Amino acid sequence: MRFSLLLLSVLIHSVSFAQQTANQTEKDSLLIISKNPDKGFMNDYLLYIPKGTAIGKLTTLLVEPNNTGQINDSIEVHREQAIFLASKSSVGNNVSRMLKIPLLVPVFPRPASEPLTYTHALDRDAMLENRPTLKRLDLQLLNMIKDAGMVLSSFNIEIEPKVFMSGFSASATFINRFSFIHPEQIKALAIGGFNGELMFPLKEMHGRQLNYPLGINDFTKLFKHESDLITYKSIPQFIYMGQLDDNDAVQYDDAYTESERIIINELKGKDVQKRFKYCQKIYQQNNFNVRFKTYETVGHWTTSAMNIEVIKFFLKQMH
């Protein structure tokens, strides 16, 4: 795939953007936007703008959180993987190219020096972080989205206030949790391969308190506002899993604490697929706007059939 690589420091005034016709871009472009503490984000982010993106017409920004798949103290490792995700291969990149909408990918770290802080899944440790680069990644992402709107607007690409969100594996878990915290920011979301474990809109279950990220018991304490389940219920969601997917982050310390693991295993189930079915039951009981799908003969990976269905799902939400 051919794309141009631009740096924010020379982005607007010194470098020509991807060639444009009167109504669309003529080639793929990848912008690396540098961190900007004054604007509320302490990490870089990427903007992928596919060939054919509409000029002078309102469109929707797609967001897919980065997921390196490993811990590493080098931000360059995470940047490299985020660039690959944004411009080469991911569900989000497929959606972006097919629907001709811009894609934002944050370059969030996942440090080896803090192996239990699973930033790419927005776990509890990540939400309790106070170091500038790791603090409130959800708010950093919101500020990146706001900034991306201004960057795109400078090229006469206008985006709607609400975004699409797509993710697989850890990035799916990130989105599931982010959507409970900021439902008003999301137009629609599609997630898959998330260990069969979803956050519940409940404070307790069978006498067990469900604190973040299992539920909303301590939501107000953590986020300084009440959970908005009415808005959450209005978000169109497509949630999918491979029938053979047995990838289970629940059983590992970097993803969940021992107390969280016990609650999940005892209340929702130790088996990924059984847990997924139980989560479907809870979401359906709460009248969430969700379509669930299980793909036969598929494990912890994505297929062209999955990509096509996600593309069709977002396309429907664009009208």
How far is the C-alpha of 34 from the C-alpha of 36, rounded, in Å?
Answer: 6
Place of tokens 């444009």: 20
CATH for 294: 3.40.50.1820
Domain range for residue 299? 3-317
* Token code pair at residue 179: 């959507």
| pLDDT score recorded for residue 24 | 86
- pLDDT grade, residue 15 (50/70/90)? very low
Tell whether the model's pLDDT for residue 189 goes beyond 70.
yes
DSSP letter, residue 36? B
Mean pLDDT of the 152-157 span: 95
Note the pLDDT of residue 89.
84
- Total structural domains in the chain? 1
212: exposed, middle or buried (C-beta count within 10 Å: 0-12, 13-18, 19+)?
buried
pLDDT of residue 22: 60
Is the pLDDT at 13 greater than 70? The verdict is: no
pTM score: 0.93
pLDDT(3) > 60: no
Please state the rounded mean pLDDT for residues 97-113: 98
Residues in the chain: 319
Q: Which are the contacts of 141, defined by CB distance < 8 A and separation ≥ 6?
A: 41, 63, 65, 106, 178
Residue 10 has pLDDT above 60, yes or no: no
